[in-house]
A = this chain, B = another copy of it.
């Protein structure tokens, strides 16, 4: 269900969703856990994470963290 907003490649497809490709596994897992617990608030993410198991969280964090990204251009450089 993640890909509609975050893309299968982890790059954001809608302005309100961040790119998650290549974020650290620990960061992604922590955010999923926070959304699931409701301590980080976002209507969509609070709903979609509500049914995730701990294994789901671990698998999603592993998948998206394994995508490699690089910077193409920094403004002014």
- Chain A: residues with CB nearer than 8 A to chain B? 8-12, 15-19, 21-24, 26-27, 30, 39-41, 63, 66-75
On whether the beta carbons of B71 and A67 are closer than 8 Å, the reply is yes
Q: How far is the CB of A27 from chain B (nearest CB, A)?
A: 5
Given contacts A10-B74, A17-B27, A19-B19, 12 further A-B contacts (CB under 8 A): A9-B71, A9-B74, A10-B71, A12-B23, A12-B24, A16-B26, A16-B27, A19-B23, A67-B75, A68-B71, A68-B72, A70-B72
A30 contacts across to B, CB distance below 8 A: 16
A70 to B19, CA, bound (A): 10
On whether the beta carbons of A63 and B75 are closer than 8 Å, the reply is yes
